[in-house]
Structure 1
């Protein structure tokens, strides 16, 4: 699926997921873990 989407589309998609996770009502610890994981994923996509 991701192969069809270009790099810009993939980055935008990840940023949307990032924003959705920030808005979730999870516990703080879980939210931090999710955000850190997404941040690493976004950075690796943007760098590659």
Structure 2
């Protein structure tokens, strides 16, 4: 049970960091070069 909780916490933390990094990349580069890639990565996950 404890191992399951630790794994879930690690997965949630990884997803949170990934979305935060993806959001920073998407907003810091508004030229549109990486925007289609990031949107195609985040949309199926959301």
Larger Cα-atom Rg: 2
Larger % of helix: which? 2
Say which structure, 1 or 2, has more relative contact order (CA 8 Å, 6+ apart). Answer: 1
Superposition TM-score, scaled by structure 2 size = 0.50
